[in-house]
């Protein structure tokens, strides 16, 4: 077992880019040992952040990597289930294969990770599980059938887990970001611009204007919320949907 076993441990799935990377950095800066589970190797290195490769759609791989982490560290204080993909399309435009890709990562991966940490959290009588949902856990958006459904599923997962494991002092919440400026956001804008011929700067400005606060959110802001929810300062918050969307869903 690692000599870091007395250090608070946070496991982040999909922690190599965007919101996930910002979360890893925030927890590391606060002195936590962080395990980033992601197929993509992170660009930045940090002594408190350990990367372990895993396909979060492969149940066997997930079980194996989590078993290894728990064996090495002997504890888990927080799981942040962040790994996910976006897919645009109506119900007619979404094939069974594409639907399965979205749900296998966004939902089944989160379920398998949760099952992996619950036994130890129950033994500890303490733990925090955060699911990275979306503003689409509260509202619908056009051309977002599979993604919308997956994020609503994560909201439900947070609520049922919170109720089922409250007696063990395990808290579960869903974070619901709106439009956050990340590499994936820019990739989506680039795909749209390539397809439509629109001006990228104009599209970016239009996206910002849709937000009541007049700007896009930043990954660091989501990371700050995640850290608060994992801290003892949020010890009475469980089963909630924590919206961070610049006011978009209040319209």
Hey, which residues are catalytic here? 147
Is residue 155 within 8 Å of 133, Cβ to Cβ? yes
Is residue 84 within 8 Å of 37, Cβ to Cβ? no
Cα–Cα distance for residue pair 57/112, rounded to 1 Å = 9
Find the distance separating the first CA and the last CA of the chain, reported in whole Å.
51
**182-213 per-residue burial string, b: 16 or more CB within 10 A, e: under 16:** beebeeebeeebeeeeeeeeeebeebeeebee
Closest to 167 in 3D by CA, of 133, 118, 132, 131: 118
Give SS3 for 10.
strand
Determine the number of helices (DSSP H) and then strands (DSSP E) in the chain: 8, 9
**What CA–CA distances, in Å, run from 15 to 26, 81, 120, 163, 199?**
11, 9, 22, 27, 31
């Amino acid at each position: 077992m690692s000599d870091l076993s007395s250090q608070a441990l946070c496991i982040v799935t999909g922690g190599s880019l965007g919101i996930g990377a910002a979360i890893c950095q925030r927890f590391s800066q606060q002195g936590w040992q962080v395990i980033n589970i992601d197929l993509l190797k992170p660009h930045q290195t940090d002594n408190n952040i350990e990367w372990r490769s895993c396909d979060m759609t492969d149940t066997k791989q997930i079980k194996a990597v989590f078993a290894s982490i728990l064996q090495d560290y002997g504890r888990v204080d927080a799981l942040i289930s962040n790994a996910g993909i976006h897919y645009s399309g109506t119900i007619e435009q979404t094939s069974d294969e594409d639907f399965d890709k979205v749900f296998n990562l966004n939902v089944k991966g989160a379920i398998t990770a949760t099952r992996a940490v619950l036994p130890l959290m129950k033994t500890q009588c303490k733990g925090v599980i955060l699911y990275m949902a979306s503003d689409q856990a509260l509202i619908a958006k056009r051309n977002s059938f599979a993604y919308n459904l997956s994020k609503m599923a994560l909201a439900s997962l947070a609520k049922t887990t919170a109720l089922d494991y409250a007696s063990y002092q395990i808290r579960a919440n869903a974070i619901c970001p709106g439009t956050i400026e990340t590499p994936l956001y820019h990739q989506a804008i680039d795909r749209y611009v390539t397809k439509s011929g629109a001006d990228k700067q104009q599209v970016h400005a239009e996206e910002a204007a849709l937000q009541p606060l007049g700007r896009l959110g930043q990954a660091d802001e989501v990371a700050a919320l995640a850290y608060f929810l994992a801290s003892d300062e949020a010890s009475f918050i469980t089963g909630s949907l924590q919206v961070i969307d610049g006011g978009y869903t209040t319209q």
